[in-house]
Amino acid sequence: MRKPTTGDHPDLKMVNPRAAAIDIGSTMHMAAVNPEACGDMPVRAFGTFTQDLHALADWFTDCGVTSVAMESTGVYWIPAFEILEARGFEVILVNARYAKNVPGRKTDVSDAGWLRQLHSYGLLRGSFRPEAEIAMLRAYMRQRERLTEYAAAHIQHMQKALMEMNLQLHHVVSDITGTTGMKIIRAIVAGERDPDVLAACRDVR
């Protein structure tokens, strides 16, 4: 019994003939579909604006695409991923390092075409992508972590500025950004220099 052939890879079985792939870029995305499904131009370039991404989704629909693989390049993949997923495509995010390590690529095959071939043979593994609610929560937590880091750096700048003016507030107040510390700093900025008046700014606790 003869083995089924799959183009240039006779030993591989095509498990996803309706696969497509996108080589993500900052200003342009290169998309590839099965030449048998859309033989006139199986690889096309699309812009990165919203209308371009919808045109990309329309082209995939016309070519009968059901599953799309794309490389995880920076944050440029996020708009395309979300639009395609909202349009009903199964989208997987692939680490570019894994695709490059697969042998057998021809020099004349584009990045998008090579990704499509690997995806059609089931050789790509998608990266973890949390649900929308989890992704939103993760974004909040990361933003909170950044703000905390920024706040720590700014506090150090404040302490340095006070030391340069020989205002050793941090020696008498445990936290210069607390209620007492901020009242004293605001009074100093407003022009107050009397130590008794500044000491009266302390919190009752």
Domain ranges for the chain = 19-128, 144-199
Q: What is the pLDDT of residue 20?
A: 95
* Domain range 19-128, CATH architecture: 2-Layer Sandwich (3.30)
* CA distances (Å), origin 148, targets 111, 143, 163, 179, 181: 40, 9, 23, 18, 19
Taking the chain (205 residues) in consecutive chunks of 10 residues, what is each chunk's mean pLDDT?
48 82 92 84 93 96 93 86 93 78 62 89 80 85 92 90 87 86 91 88 78
Per DSSP bridges, beta strands 90-94 and 43-47 are unpaired
Q: What is the pLDDT of residue 106?
A: 60
